Each structure stands twice: as structure tokens, then as C-alpha cells.
Structure 1
Amino acid sequence: MAVIFGNMGSEVIMVTVDDDVYAMGCNSSGCLGLGDTASALQPRKIESLCKKKIKGLAYGSGLHLLAFSDSGELYTWGYNTYSQLGNGNTNHTLTPSLVSGVLAGKTVIQVGCGNHHCLALTSEGEVFAWGQNNGGQCGSGTTTGQSVPRRVTSGIGGHKVVAIACGQLTSMALLDDGDLYGWGYNGNGELGIGNNNNQHNPVRVSNLHKVFITQIVCGFAHCLALTDQGELYAWGANSYGQLGTGYKTHHLSPVIVAPELGKAVEIAACHLSHISAAMFHDGKIFMWGHCRGHSIFSPSPTPYTHLDEVFACYSTPSVTWRTLQFRARQDTPLAETLRLAFNDENTGDICFKVGGNSIWVHKAILRIRCQYYRAMFQHNTWAEADQETVEIEQFSYPVYYCFLRYLYTDEVDLPVEEALGLLDLANAYCETELKSRCQHLIRQSVNTENVAVLFATGLKYEAQDLEEYCLRFAVHHLTAVVQTETFSKLEEATMKHFISRVARMGAFRY
């Protein structure tokens, strides 16, 4: 799993399948948990979290982090001016530390962070809050900050909570009966209770009492809710169109969004941004709100297949709205299957003999990938034969092997000194993309001794990229180039063409 966070999306924490935890990025306020504040340009282990079976992560705007383990233990670290680490003080912490106290013996199953406050949900359906409380976001009935976790009891104390969410200064709790409660700052109507008065205790979002809510997410100052019937509701701030209503008027109560798009199946928002997204029953992903400096007031289709991609590509900052979960494939991906099939004598149905070496391939792959072979098989008895051996004499074994492997993998793995042979093949077989790849490979070997002959090669094969590169190189090293033996051996027409071209590029202007 992974979480990408920070005011510029410049920090990341990753958990591997081996149960190790790594971090890298800017490390503002020591938020990477590495024990220092130095930037990490490469992944570094967070030793204190390794082998702890970390199951979920959350981050706050003040760059504080929460992580909980499979056994329900909670760890916090980072910025702590408002006691958002829940450790009873305001000292910043550079390494993860276990939160005990009232959470000792509890099993944490979800965590959430706002600007400088935190929520934790236990397996028993209890909600605990701590940190900054200036808007009542800790749900304690006051605006006094809380330095350690305290259970939120008012309004929801006798019910089982199944999900929590945090806006910048608000908190939301979804009950097992589908009811929704909110508390904290409400200046933009982000609690959805019909007014803009702050609430120091949880208050039911009464306008949703006729529907059964299954998912709740919070943006910076707006909320989205999804019902069991696939209805999407939104409320709160709307300056950037984040409610998806087609205009920018704030809404103090929930309004239904885009019913014409059909049933929604998943919704997304992030407390650090003003963007919203949803996946609908047909698998299409729509987004709206603050997108790369622009305001989109109605749900707009995207080319993506996951909600996470919306935040990666459109959100400012580019951060994850939830912990990304990665699952190892149990089957072999198509690309790897093709790679393994190359030069497999057991499955290949045609063999190329090059310099005494055999290369086994599949006619079907060659037909699909290469126009030259498509024409060859169409007009040749090879198309009907069960197995054939083809002798190749005009190209070397490394060149032909690389070419056939390229058809299976799209990779060009060849020493630079063999690249001219591959360019010859690509030109003969009309492989435009391979021809371009060869030119890039050959460019790595250009020097004053060979630039003239490589320029001539570019002319011969109409390799314009290689021509231009050789000319640009020659202009900057012209005196050395014209004194080389390879330059003196150029054909007269080629030499005149070379001199004319470098002259037009300004080689003789002084």
C-alpha cells in the first residue's frame, strides 16, 4: 500500500508485501518518520513500523501521520503543535510512537485526519478524537483542544459507527443504520444540517433520514454521501464547483448530484483539496471542482478507470484521497507471457537460422507485428507449413535476434556497435518505429572520428534524426571532424552535401 501526501504532494510512504515500510520525499516537519528532517531522495526504511503489519494510513494538513496495524495498534508522528499526535504534549515527533491511554486494548480499524485533528474508529464502532478543536471538530462539547484521544459520546455514543471522515475542520460519522452525523466548523454548511453554525457535538444530518448512506467522504470544506440506491448527495462550500451542481452557490443541506448519470458506486474527496469524483455503474469516472487551477461546476467525464487517478492527475496538490491498495497479480500479465514465448522451441512454429544459431518464434505474432512478415506469409507456402526453417544470411545473429525479440517485447537490447546493422534491417523491413529507436541508440556512439560516416549512413537510410544529430555535433567540432580520415573518404556528393548543410547551420559565419 502507499499514501502520497504533503502540501505539494511531495512525500510518500509505502508498505511492501514483505511487511517493510519505506518513506521518501521532502520530509517537512519530520513527517516521514525517519528520525530526522532531511529529505529522502530514495526510499528509506521506517524501522519502527517494519514487521508491524501496517494496515492503513492517514495524513493531516499539518503534516502529521497516523498508521494502524492489523492488530489495531495506532502509531503517530510528525507535526504536533495542536497535540494531533495524541501523546499528551505538543512536541514534534520524528519517529512513529504508539498511542496508548484510552486506546490501549482497543482495535483501531480506520483513521482520519483533518487540518490538525484526528479521528480513530474501533472494531466496536466507537469514535475517538483529539487535536485542534477550535470549531468543535473533536466533538467534546467545547472548543478546548484535546491532547489525548477521547471518545465521542454525544449523539452517537449508543450507536455503532461503521465509517469516519474528516474535512479540514469538520468530522463525520456514518452509523450502521445508515444515519450520518457531523460536528465541528460549519461556516460553509459542510455539516449539511441546514445552517452554518458550528457544532461542538455530533448532530444528525436530518435531511438524509429517508435514505440509507453507505459511504461518506469529505473535501476541504464540502462533503459527498452515497446511498445504497446509488444516489449521490453533496453539500458545503461550492466556490470551485466541488458540489457538482452546475453553479457555485454553497449548500447548507444535501442536494442530489447528477441523477442523469445513473447509479454511482463509489465517491471520492480529500480534505486537502476542492475536488470531487465518482464512479458510476457503467465504470465511467467523473470529476468536478478545482482542477489544475480551473473550476468545473458539473460532473465531467475522465479517461480513467480508478478514482485514484483523478487525484493523481487533476488535484492540487496531487495527493491520495485514501490509502492506495496494491494487489499482486496471480496470473502472468500479457506482456510477460509474450516475453516468455519468444525463442521457445516447444511452442514456436517457425525457426530462423542465423549464423548457425536457431531462433524460435510464432508465425501469428510475426504477422500481427510486422508488415514484412505479413506479406511474406501471405504469398509463401510457409503459411501452410506446420514447421519451417528459414535461413537468414544478410544480417548478423545479434541483429536478427534483437529484431525478433523486439516484436515480442518492444525492447531494443543491442550493443551500440551492432546498431547500424539493426538500422539496416529496420529500413529494409519498413519498421519506422524501430528505425527511430536505432537512431537514438546510434547517437550514443557519435564522436569526431565517426560522425562523418554516421551522417552518410543517415542519408543512405533516410534517417533524418540521425542526420540532424550528426550535423549539430559536427558544427561544434568542425575543425576536428574535417581533419579525420573518415571525412576525407566520404563520397564527393556526400561531402558537398555535408558542407552545405553545416554552412546553413552557421558553421562558417565567423
Structure 2
Amino acid sequence: MEDFLEDDLFLLYTLYGKRGKMPVKDERGDLDMSKVVKPVQATLSSLKMLDVGKWPIFSLCSEEELQLVRQACVFGSASNELLYTTVNDEVFVLGTNCCGCLGLGDVQSTIEPRRLDSLSGKKIACLSYGSGPHIVLATTEGEVFTWGHNAYSQLGNGTTNAGLVPYHISTNLSNKQVIEVACGSYHSLVLTSDGEVFAWGYNNSGQVGSGSTANQPIPRRVTGCLQSKVAVNIACGQMCSMAVVSTGEVFVWGYNGNGQLGLGSSGNQPTPCRVAALQGIRVQRVACGYAHTLVLTDEGQVYAWGANSYGQLGTGNKSNQSYPTPVVLEKDRIIEIAACHSAHTSAAKTQGGHVYMWGQCRGQSVTLPHLTHFSSTDDVFACFATPAVTWRLLSVEPDDHLTVAESLKREFDNPNTADLKFLVDGKYIYVHKVLLKIRCEHFRSSLEDNEDDIVEMSEFSYPVYRAFLEYLYTDSISLSPEEAVGLLDLATFYRENRLKKLCQQTIKQGICEENAIALLSAAVKYEAQDLEEFCFRFCINHLTVVTQTSGFAEMDHDLLKNFISKASRVGAFKN
């Protein structure tokens, strides 16, 4: 199998023409985490709307759409496919739609969320995806649906035709309630409520556990050593399969070229085999990377084995291991492990809430567990894994808690709680005296002995004064570049230097040949040096057109004189 592209996260931006760059540039060699964390944090802070915003593809969704998201899965070789559910149990998809993996009945890409009608109204319990990609999904009712790439019968519908719409699998599963699903690159596993494991799809290395290497077109129960066992957890690597049973034993089968089965050898295993090296250790969970395996024990210990070319075993080196090897973390108990077959990245979370990552990190190698600033293992895959897919179905819980900043923003212009109102251009703006005193030196003195509950304001327009008062609640301004000139005047008058900087940034966005001289004049008048220099440079770069405008013809004499002098010094009039 091919390695994944190192720049795959950038493909989404290239494909859809979205603005911005990813925070970490791919380079081979040792990773300096100090150079990674800060830009990643900056990126995340600009996508705060929901945790799902940490995946770039969510930038294609509107704010209103993001507010409705309750479950989500990002998948695809370049993390450019997305499925999500809403508060109303509607299912939406968007992305490149490779092999019809969006289930819409066609192979057309879409940058607008489209409703997946056949699944809307059903509650999704779990979901997994393959490399094709193909999707396997189970509902809370235990039904299984598959769609997408199917060249190896990984959809379990008895054919090798691409599944363009969700297919309800009933063969051998009609009386079963599926509680967990897992996909390898091109094969699929499901776990039923009675502890049985079913498999189908690509089987070149025995990954469906049938005892042969023939592809399996429909679900068949995995038997052998699992026949009398009750499975409680399943996972898939690229071409291998794992199951944890109720006794805490781990059974493995499939491809073993990198020692990912943990059997002490590199030979493939066509039927389930117990990992004998874990004798006496009770395993609770198993997670598979592309070609490595992690297990979590009931004592909160992590063991790893398999491929280690990126340090994904956390052993401090890049040597493969065919036997389970302890992963040394802090003394705190590990409560969660994370990996997925499409990446060479590992993550773990402690009981104290600390999240560690190791392995492939945007093309770099982190060979020992590294403490991150994240609070979730999901964030590790959003920001560091290649591709930036979700390792499980995300559940986004609505957060009704408001921060102090959010609470203040909500109370601006609220007549129910305000104790002061400004009358501007015949309109009221409702505010709170104490906040104005705290936030603005001007109000600290002007409202000190003022017991009135109405203040008339005639010096500034309603939009400008409202924007100023709102800034005191939100630390941001929402005005057009034209109106921001009036706010710049106010900021200068009230000596609000930070507001003055924000005004200059806004005004710059609206500059053109026609208004460049007017903005330059305003910058000089209000001693906005940064804006003045910006306007001057703009005028020089568009000198021919600017000098033909009415603004230039009506330019103040002293300003014109200074402009010509400065332009001459920078060589604007040279042939």
C-alpha cells in the first residue's frame, strides 16, 4: 500500500480555494514541538465555534450549520469528506465524494452540505471508514448500512459494484443488533450485542479470519478461537483485525508483516489467534493504526507493537516490535487510547485529563509520548495526524455555559438589565454604567456623579456611537470601512488607543483610488500614523489614477504640499 501524501491536509484548501494555510509545514527530521504548538493554538482559537471546527473541512459549513452539529466524522485520504448529524437527527455530507462515499447516489463533489435522506431520522451509534473510502455505519437500533468503494466486496452486499447509496445489510445480520463497527483499508468488521464478530471484504492476508485468502462478499461470523468467546471490542489495522473478549484476552488475525499481530513473528494469520505474550494481563480496549497496535489494560497501562517507522510505538526509537511493549507515560492512569488505520499516530488520555501523542506528527517523528495542550485525543488527530481524519465518530455536546465575555456580549443593548441609555439621532442604546466605568477612562470621570439614566449624544452618529459602546462589551468593532472613519474620530477624542488601531485595520480594507486621498486626510487629521503610511503607499502605487480624482483636486494645500514632497523623496515622479 502507498504511504499517504505528506501534504494531504493542504489538498482541501487547494481543492476548494479556501483561505489560509495549515499551521505546520511538512519537513522530514526531528520535530521541534515548541514550533508546532503555538501556531496550532492560534489556528484553533480562530475556529472556536465548536470543537469540530479544528478540522479544516468544517470551514465549508456556515456558523448556523455548525451550531446544529451533534455527531461528525471526517474521512478520506486527504481528510476531504465529511458526514455529520444534527440536533434533529438529520444526516448531512459534503466533500469530494470519491467513489460515491457520500452516499448521495452520484460521484459529484459538493462544497455545500447535502442531506442524506435515506439515513435522516435514524440515530447513529457508531461509524467507521476504509481507504477507498467505504463507510460502515450502525444505528442505535443495531442496523448496519454500508456504501462507497467496493472493489473488494467491503460493503458486504455480495457484489463488487460501488455503493452510491447506503445499503442496509441484512444477510446473516438480520436478527443481530450491531453495537460496534470497524474498517480496515478494504475490509469490515462488526460486533453484535451477543459478543459475535462478523467480517467481510478484502482477505488477501486473512484479515476476515475465514481461514483462506479469498475475498468475503457477505458478512460471515469469525469463528475458530472466537467461537466460544464473547467479544467486547473490535479494531482494524490496514489489513489486520483484532478483538478483545470478556476475559481480557486479545485475539488477532490478518497481515503481520510488521509484527502488528503481536505474536512474536511476521507471518500472516488467517484465523484468530490469542496474543500469548499478554498472558495474565487483562485488556479492556484495542486500537489499531495503519500497521501498529495499542491496547489498554484494566490497570490503566498501555502496550504497543507493530510498525514503528514514525515512533508510533512510543518506545523512543523507530524499531518495529512483534511483541507487546509497555508504553511509558506519567504515573497517572491511562483511561483512553486512540489510533486509526489511516494514520501512523498514537494518542492517550490520562485520568487527570492530560493528553499525550506520539508517532507521525505532520510528517515528523515523535518517538516518545509527548504531553500536548489538548484536552481530547480527537484534537491530536485534527491537528497532528496525516491525514487529519477523526479516529472515531465525534459527539459534540451542546455547551450552554457562557464565558464572561459571552455574557457581556449578550447584555449589550439589553433594556431589561441596563441602568443607562444613550439617546443618539433619536434612538436609544441601552448600557450598564459600571461596565462603562470599568472599560473606559472617559466614562469613569463623566459618569462619576451623574445620576441620570438618559444621556443625549449629538457629537457622533448613531452607527458610530453604537459601535463604540458595543466595542466596550465585545472588544471588537462591526462597522463598514467608511463608517470606521467616524469611529476613528471618536477613538481619538476619547483617547482609546486600541480602538484606534482596530479602526485603522477596518479602514484599510475599504481603500480604493477614489477615496484614498480622503482616507489619507483623515489619517493625518487623527494622527493615525499606521493608516497614514498605508494610504500614502496606496496612493503612490496608484498615482496616475489617484491624481485624477476629485479628492486629489480638492486636497488641502498643506497636505498636498507634504504629499508631493514625500512622493518626490520616494522617487514617485521619476521617469
Cα 1:259/1:290, change in 2 over 3 Å = closer
Give the one of 437, 445, 449 matched to 1:376.
445
SS in 2 for 1:321: coil
- Cα distance in 2 between the residues matched to 1:171 and 1:364: 63
- Cα distance in 1 between the residues matched to 2:163 and 2:523: 61
SS in 2 for 1:155: helix
SS in 2 for 1:101: coil
- Cα distance in 1 between the residues matched to 2:312 and 2:454: 64
> Could you tell me which amino acid in structure 2 is paired with residue 474 of structure 1?
C
Q: Work out whether 1:437 is the aligned partner of 2:502.
A: yes
Aligned-pair distance for 1:235?
1.1
SS in 1 for 2:560: helix
Aligned-pair distance for 1:58?
1.0
> Could you tell me which amino acid in structure 1 is paired with residue 309 of structure 2?
S
Cα 1:194/1:432, change in 2 over 3 Å = farther
Aligned-pair distance for 1:334?
5.0
Cα 1:182/1:372, change in 2 over 3 Å = farther
Aligned-pair distance for 1:57?
1.7
> Could you tell me which amino acid in structure 1 is paired with residue 214 of structure 2?
T
> Could you tell me which amino acid in structure 1 is paired with residue 353 of structure 2?
G
- Cα distance in 2 between the residues matched to 1:299 and 1:255: 14
Gaps of 5+ in 2: 1-70
Q: Work out whether 1:460 is the aligned partner of 2:525.
A: yes
SS in 2 for 1:267: strand
- Cα distance in 2 between the residues matched to 1:366 and 1:288: 48
Q: Work out whether 1:482 is the aligned partner of 2:547.
A: yes
> Could you tell me which amino acid in structure 1 is paired with residue 364 of structure 2?
H
Aligned-pair distance for 1:460?
2.6
Match in the other structure for 1:326: 396
Q: Deviations over 1:61-89 (max 9, x none)?
A: 12111122221111111111111010111
Q: Work out whether 1:10 is the aligned partner of 2:75.
A: no
SS in 1 for 2:360: strand
> Could you tell me which amino acid in structure 2 is paired with residue 244 of structure 1?
G
Cα 1:303/1:95, change in 2 over 3 Å = same
Match in the other structure for 1:428: 493
Give the one of 131, 136, 143 matched to 1:61.
131
- Cα distance in 1 between the residues matched to 2:138 and 2:498: 49
Contact 1:261/1:280, CA 8 A, preserved across alignment: no
- Cα distance in 2 between the residues matched to 1:104 and 1:238: 40
Identity %: 49
Match in the other structure for 1:194: 264
- Cα distance in 2 between the residues matched to 1:509 and 1:92: 67
- Cα distance in 1 between the residues matched to 2:281 and 2:437: 57
SS in 2 for 1:276: strand
SS in 2 for 1:223: strand
**Worse-matched range after superposition: 285-294 or 484-493:** 484-493
Match in the other structure for 1:492: 557
Aligned-pair distance for 1:275?
0.7
SS in 2 for 1:265: strand
Match in the other structure for 2:39: none
SS in 1 for 2:94: strand
> Could you tell me which amino acid in structure 1 is paired with residue 98 of structure 2?
S
Aligned-pair distance for 1:124?
1.4
Pick 1 or 2: higher relative contact order, CA cutoff 8 A, min separation 6: 2
Give the one of 142, 155, 176 matched to 1:85.
155
- Cα distance in 1 between the residues matched to 2:510 and 2:318: 58
Q: Work out whether 1:148 is the aligned partner of 2:218.
A: yes
- Cα distance in 2 between the residues matched to 1:38 and 1:371: 58
Q: Deviations over 1:381-421 (max 9, x none)?
A: 46xx7x75444443222211111112223442334442211
Contact 2:181/2:191, CA 8 A, preserved across alignment: yes
Give the one of 322, 325, 348 matched to 1:278.
348
SS in 2 for 1:88: coil
- Cα distance in 2 between the residues matched to 1:58 and 1:67: 7
**Worse-matched range after superposition: 102-111 or 442-451:** 442-451
Contact 2:133/2:148, CA 8 A, preserved across alignment: yes
**Worse-matched range after superposition: 425-434 or 98-107:** 425-434
> Could you tell me which amino acid in structure 2 is paired with residue 264 of structure 1?
I
Contact 2:329/2:369, CA 8 A, preserved across alignment: no
Q: Work out whether 1:450 is the aligned partner of 2:519.
A: no
Q: Work out whether 1:229 is the aligned partner of 2:294.
A: no
SS in 1 for 2:167: strand
- Cα distance in 2 between the residues matched to 1:369 and 1:413: 18
Q: Deviations over 1:125-176 (max 9, x none)?
A: 1110001111111111222210111001111222221111111011111112
Gaps of 5+ in 1: none
Q: Deviations over 1:269-314 (max 9, x none)?
A: 1111111111122212111111111111111122211111111111
Match in the other structure for 2:422: 352
Aligned-pair distance for 1:186?
1.2
**Worse-matched range after superposition: 277-286 or 341-350:** 341-350
**Worse-matched range after superposition: 322-331 or 12-21:** 322-331
Aligned-pair distance for 1:347?
2.1
SS in 2 for 1:423: helix
Match in the other structure for 2:28: none
> Could you tell me which amino acid in structure 2 is paired with residue 479 of structure 1?
T
Give the one of 92, 96, 114 matched to 2:184.
114
> Could you tell me which amino acid in structure 2 is paired with residue 17 of structure 1?
V
Which one has the largest radius of gyration? 1
Q: Work out whether 1:262 is the aligned partner of 2:332.
A: yes
Match in the other structure for 2:235: 165
- Cα distance in 2 between the residues matched to 1:463 and 1:261: 56
- Cα distance in 2 between the residues matched to 1:308 and 1:503: 58
Cα 1:372/1:276, change in 2 over 3 Å = farther
- After TM superposition, list the pairs within 5 Å mapping 1:117-136 onto structure 2: 117-136=187-206
Aligned-pair distance for 1:349?
3.4
- Cα distance in 1 between the residues matched to 2:461 and 2:191: 66
Match in the other structure for 2:385: 315
Match in the other structure for 1:287: 357
- Cα distance in 1 between the residues matched to 2:333 and 2:96: 40
Match in the other structure for 1:403: 468
> Could you tell me which amino acid in structure 2 is paired with residue 376 of structure 1?
S
Aligned-residue RMSD, C-alpha = 2.3
Contact 1:56/1:323, CA 8 A, preserved across alignment: yes
Q: Deviations over 1:356-401 (max 9, x none)?
A: 543332344335544554x538x9346xx7x754444432222111
**Worse-matched range after superposition: 428-437 or 306-315:** 428-437
**Worse-matched range after superposition: 21-30 or 201-210:** 201-210
Cα 1:273/1:493, change in 2 over 3 Å = same
Cα 1:62/1:491, change in 2 over 3 Å = same
Aligned-pair distance for 1:215?
2.0
- Cα distance in 2 between the residues matched to 1:36 and 1:193: 43
Q: Deviations over 1:104-136 (max 9, x none)?
A: 121111111011110011111111000111111
Contact 2:153/2:159, CA 8 A, preserved across alignment: yes
- Cα distance in 1 between the residues matched to 2:489 and 2:190: 65
Cα 1:401/1:299, change in 2 over 3 Å = same
SS in 2 for 1:68: strand
Aligned-pair distance for 1:482?
2.4
SS in 2 for 1:49: coil
